[in-house]
Structure formats: structure tokens, C-alpha cells
Chain A
């Protein structure tokens, strides 16, 4: 059987000021008709470069050193710009990572989808519109005719991704490239998108290259999995086998890094005294106007308490109010309610004194945004030391505490990788010797393997300092590994607050059960 897409001995360099950097070494891959090939690797392993090479949209400084890229019997590297336009979308579709940026915000959904159909399938406007309505209905969007008239900002992230998938499938390409299509979505939405993908694939028999950093997820959607490490293809195996019997060390590391709820990482019991108790916390953004009611509160009278040395998990899909809780507890959002900390009562942002600010630290989701790009690492770390009384000579010790060399003190944030930046953010939080650290989705933008290292680091720091954690995440598998108790939030309400052992029990809230079902538990 001839492959639909074949990559032979493909080698790619990027020319940088320091000379050529090899990003792909001698890659050979084939995708048969109707087959889904999963491509897994950490960030920087070259998986997206391969996708862009196939789409013939490489950056200026890319040099293709050797190899060939063939779509059926077409040599992709030889195509003229005009021929490329006919191939892209028509024979080779692509679905991007972030649905919020892959639709044009100034055009209606209908315009964007019919334009693709008219271009690639040569349909008349009227036929294209009716087909578009069909396609949108087929990806389980309610009231497709209404969606057609809306603008991208008027529909949710999950709906946008459905629109993009509908467009990609609607042009009936031979192969579709998926570049982390669910990474930017929350768990439940992501799970629904995957189910949709599986159904469409059964119906159309399209071949696909599915790129992701999440091995557990890829094994569920792909027939075969290829593992990429620093531009080299280290392993190729059927999806069912790769989890059970990984051959290469890198694959094994990826498999081990996947969080599994049954493998507990924390074994001690938390203390008895309550460190922080919050009750009736309500966060509101914006207030009512003359002709407009106030928007509903982001959190509705939430109460929780954290005990000494405890890890309390807070899970929920995006928009459930988890981050609003973190913002209220750290005085970043106006709230009503009461926080009791160390026998000190707080009713307003103004009540938070220096001692509270020191004892409750927050680590943010995006390490790129939480470190000031114009400050060197030593300046970033020196601020909490200066504010809360500490010695600047401690900076090397802080770096060592998060397993970074002391020489990093002189670097700029942009010279560090995402995981290293997150370590700096952790060091900054721990410089204050806090009693409670709030982690707001701190591992969400990181690779699975980096995530495992960060978790290990946090647990080691907890061992050393006895700090309690409020760990906000949407990854239920991860939080079940480390938390003592888990609170589940939905639409600003707390639906469950259970000890972690009770999660398999029957009395959990239906929503919690739905969340658990949506979290991909690794095959095998």
C-alpha cells in the first residue's frame, strides 16, 4: 500500500548567528491511508518544525539539508507557490494549537468556513453555505445557522476548535496535521474534541499526523506513535505497545512522567492546626451600571481551610473560579468574605499586612509573564529578601534550593527555558519562607516530563520547609497523586471537597465523575 504522506531522511537546519543549528536529524516517517500517526516529544524536540516543513511554511532562516517530503505522488519541496496554494487546505489540512488565534476576529464564522469551501472545493456561495451549516452541525455545534453569523469572540474556545476541525474536514484533504489541538483547552472540552476527532476519523477515514507532548493522550487517538527527541526519531511503535513496553530510555522517561492517580507521591498526614481559613469568599469583576445588572460573581461564597503542611487541590474547568480564589487570597482581586490567618482576620484587601503578604505566596501559571523581562535573576530574587528581611548572600542558596546553578544569578529571564523560569518563580516564592504557597496551574504550560520535575521539586521543598500548598490545576490525575484533600469547583461553586482516598467512592458529585472520565488515564 502506498503511503499518503512519506518523509524520507529529512534533515533541517536553522541558521542562527552562531552558525547552523540542526533541528531535525534524518527523519523517516510514513503515514498509510486512514492511519493516524502520533508524534510525541518535549518542547524544542522539533515536532512543530516538521509540521511547518510539511505545510511548506518554514521561517526564512531554515535550510533543508537532505531528504524528501512526499504527499502521495507529489514532491512537496518542488512545488511552486501557486501549486502550493492548491495543495494547502485542499489535500493537506492543518488544525492549530490555539483556536483563539487561528480564526480571523474581524470575519464571521460563516464567512471563514465558506471561503475555505469555495476556494478548495470550487463550490458556489449558496452550496458552500448550506454545506457549512451541515458541517457545523456534524461537529455537534448547536444551532449551526446562528453560529455562522457570529464572530469568533462570540463563541467559546471549544466551539472555535470545532469550527476549525469542521473546516479542515470539510475540504476533504488526504492528510490533516493536528498540532496540539487540545492543549489550549480545558480537560472536559479537550476530551469532547478528542471524541469528535475519533468519530470524524471513523466516518471519513482521513489520515492524520497528530502532534502532542502528552504521550497518554496520543496513545488514545493514534494507531502508531513516533517519539522525537531533540530532532531525532528514537522510537516508533504501535500505540498499544509503546506504553507497556517502551524500548528507548527517552520514551520510558515520557511514560514515567505521565501522572497516574494510583501512584501516590505524598505519604504523610497533614498537621491539625489550620493555617488559613477562608469563608464566604465572593469575587466580583465589574459592577452594575444604570441599565445593566452586575455580572454574576466569579466565586459564590466559597469556604475552605488549609492545614499546616497540607496540600489542598483545587480543580475545575476554565472559568470555574479557581484562579479568582487565588487572586482573592493574595489580595489581587476585590472580595467579600472573611479570611482567618494566624488568628488575624481579613475582610478587605487593605487588611493584608506585610506578615500576611510574606506568609502567603503565589506562583503564577505562565513563567514568561511572571518574571520581569528587564530584571536579571538576582534582582528578581533579591526583592522578597529585601522586603521580608533576608540577606542578599542567600541568592546562591535559593538557586541551589531549586536545583539551578548559582551562575544563573546573572542571567536574563529570556535566556532560561520554561521549566527553569518556573523554578525561579518557585525560588522567589520560597525566599519569603512562606507558610502557604498558592500554585495557580503552575505546570499547565510545561511538558509532561518538566512537570514531573517541578512536582518533585515542590514536594522536596515541602519536606524541607513544611509549607502548605493550595494547588490549583485542571489535571485531576496529577492532583490525585499529591493532594491530601481536593476541592472541585464548577461555575463559581464548590461541588465537592473530599479527602483524596474518597475519589473512587460512590458519593462523589456527578460533575467530579465527569471530570475524572475526561482525564486521560494512560492505556496499559
Chain B
């Protein structure tokens, strides 16, 4: 594990990604303590105040400090998006590799079911689930995980089909290994690269999907300082105060970039052939 981390830190993309992620993690952990203002402190004199010495990233339509809201909001945005992506990817990858391993009619049945699920747009699916399960962050995580799993399953299966034909898998079957070992130890490590890449990209989609759910009123509720909700709120005042839109968008983008960079680094670090 430490060896993997050292290898990750040696790559430039891994290093930058880890530093960015560390910053974001710090915001998640200590955000409320470090924030210059309370996130819900309304200042009517400072409505739409441009970025300056009072409010570093400006203020929104209620005069709330955007920087403080971002720092506090990190906690309700990033971990949830990460968990949702992780759960969705893990489930999708397991289904994909398992389906490729089983092959034949079973594979056909699983993949056609996945196709049917994919025919429902992710947002609609998430909405459906949240409205049946009830509002709340936990349910939103489940909804997003379910919406992500089919896509992951498809990507993983196509990679796993190649691996399925490799002699080492045949050797494992010939020696009488059980399905769990073959799926998780023989096949899964060899399809990690596309899974890691795909899921790090999806973290940013998850942030946006949370935002959309919040915007539609089934995710986080105002006045929560969830990033997506902040973007949605600032949208109406885009021409008056673009910073209200830019700052949370930039935060989302930065998170996405950080995860992507770490994903790139992880892909290389996980590959034993890469020794530089």
C-alpha cells in the first residue's frame, strides 16, 4: 500500500492530483472552522458584492460570503459524490466482470437487462428512486449509484471479455478455481485501468447530478451550501454577479480535475509493468 502511494507520488499527475485532493479533504474536514464567516450569515448591505478584501470570492444575492459557503459546502458535496461513484462503480464492475466470466445465455440476459436500465436517463432514474425512497442525502447516494452502475458494467464487460480469453483465466478454470476467485483475483485486477479512469470522470458527473437533484428540490434543500445548489441559485443572477456562478463551478471543476489526475496516476501505479 505504501509502495503504491510512493509510486503514485512519483508521477507528476499523481502528485498534483494528491495535493489537490488533500486541499479538498482539508476543506471537508476543517472547512467550518477555517471559514471567515458563517455560511448562512446574511448581510443586506453586501448583496452582490464583488470579490475583494471583505469577501474574497464575492457575495451572493443575500450577501452571504461565497468562500465560506464553498468551504462549508465541501463537506456535503465531495464525500457524497465520491461514495455514490464508488458504490456505483464497484457494483457495475462486479456485474460486468461476472457477466463476462459467465458468458453465454447468462451474459446475454444480464446485458439486456442492463440495456433496459440504461434506456432510462440517469437523472430520471435518480428522481424516480429518490421520490420512492424519500428525500435525503443517503437516498440520493443510492439513486446516483444505481444510475451509474449500468454504464460501468458495460465498460467493464467489454474489457473483461478480452481477459476472459486469456490463458491465465483458462488455466484457473482448468485447475478448478471457484468463480469468486476467478472474477475478483484473476480478471478484475486486469480490467482496473478502464474502471479507474471511468469512475474518476464520473465523480464530477456525480457532483453535477447531486446539484441537479438539489435544483429540482429532491436533494439538498436551501439554504444548504451544497455546491450544485449554489450554482443553481446563482444562475438567476448570472449577469449581475457572475462570481456567484463561477466560484462553485470552479470548485466542482477542480474536484473533477483532482480525481481525474489521481485516476491517471493510479492507473499507472497499479500497473506492475510500469517501473520508472
Interface positions of A (Cβ within 8 A of B): 17, 330-332, 352, 354, 357-358, 361-362, 364-366, 369-375, 383-384, 387, 412, 414, 425, 428, 432
Contacts and interface: CB of A to CB of B under 8 A. Distances in A.
Interface in B146-205: 166-168, 170-177, 185-186, 189-190
A357 B273 contact: no
B171 A370 contact: yes
A373 B186 CA distance: 9
Interface residues of B, number: 18
B276 interface: yes
Nearest to A331: B174
Contacts of A361: 174-175
B172 to A, nearest CB: 8
A367 to B, nearest CB: 9
Nearest to B169: A372
Given A332-B173, A332-B174, A364 B273 contact: no
Contacts of A383: 172, 175, 177
A371 B273 CA distance: 14
A374 B190 contact: yes
19 contacts: A17-B276, A331-B173, A331-B174, A332-B170, A332-B173, A357-B175, A357-B176, A362-B171, A364-B170, A364-B171, A369-B166, A372-B186, A372-B189, A374-B272, A383-B175, A384-B175, A387-B176, A414-B272, A414-B273
B167 A373 contact: no
Interface string B20-37: 000000000000000000
A357 B272 contact: no
Contacts of A371: 168
Nearest to A327: B170
Given A369-B167, A372-B186, A374-B190, A412 B175 contact: no
Contacts of A387: 175-177
Interface in B259-275: 272-273
A-B CB proximity, top 5 nearest: A357-B176, A370-B167, A374-B189, A364-B167, A369-B167
A425 B272 CA distance: 19
A428 B170 CA distance: 14
Nearest to B165: A369
Given A366-B167, A373-B272, 19 more contacts: A352-B176, A357-B175, A358-B175, A364-B167, A364-B170, A364-B171, A369-B166, A369-B167, A370-B166, A370-B167, A370-B168, A372-B189, A374-B190, A374-B272, A383-B172, A383-B177, A387-B177, A412-B272, A412-B273
A331 B171 CA distance: 10
A283 to B, nearest CB: 15
B167 A357 contact: no
A362 B168 CA distance: 11
Contacts of A374: 189-190, 272
A369 B175 CA distance: 16
Given A374-B190, A374-B272, A357 B174 contact: yes
Nearest to B173: A332
Nearest to B186: A372
A348 to B, nearest CB: 15
A357 to B, nearest CB: 4
A354 B172 CA distance: 13
Nearest to A352: B176
A330 B273 CA distance: 31
Contacts of B186: 372
Contacts of A330: 174
A362 B169 CA distance: 12
A358 B276 CA distance: 40
Among B175, B176, B273, find the residue whose CB has the most chain A CB atoms closer than 10 A. B175
B176 A354 contact: yes
Contact of B273 (A331, A370, A373): A373
Nearest to B190: A374
Contacts of B273: 373, 412, 414
A375 B163 CA distance: 14
Interface string B190-224: 10000000000000000000000000000000000
A201 B166 CA distance: 40
A428 B276 CA distance: 30
Contacts of B167: 364-366, 369-370
Nearest to A326: B174
Contacts of B170: 332, 364, 370
Nearest to A368: B167
A166 B151 CA distance: 47
A399 to B, nearest CB: 18
A342 to B, nearest CB: 16
Interface in B70-107: none
B174 A372 contact: no
A396 to B, nearest CB: 21
A330 B276 CA distance: 40
A370 B174 CA distance: 12
A372 B272 contact: no
A408 B267 CA distance: 25
A357 B176 CA distance: 6
Contacts of B174: 330-332, 357, 361-362
Nearest to B181: A383
Contacts of A412: 272-273
Contacts of B173: 331-332
B164 to A, nearest CB: 12
A383 B176 CA distance: 10
B159 to A, nearest CB: 13
Contacts of A331: 173-174
B168 A372 contact: yes
Contacts of A373: 190, 272-273
A352 B185 CA distance: 23
B94 to A, nearest CB: 17
Among A17, A365, A371, A374, find the residue whose CB has the most chain B CB atoms closer than 10 A. A374
Contact of B171 (A17, A352, A414, A428): A428
A374 B170 CA distance: 16
Nearest to B176: A357
Among A17, A332, A352, find the residue whose CB has the most chain B CB atoms closer than 10 A. A332
B272 to A, nearest CB: 4
A371 to B, nearest CB: 6
Contacts of A352: 176
Contacts of B166: 369-370
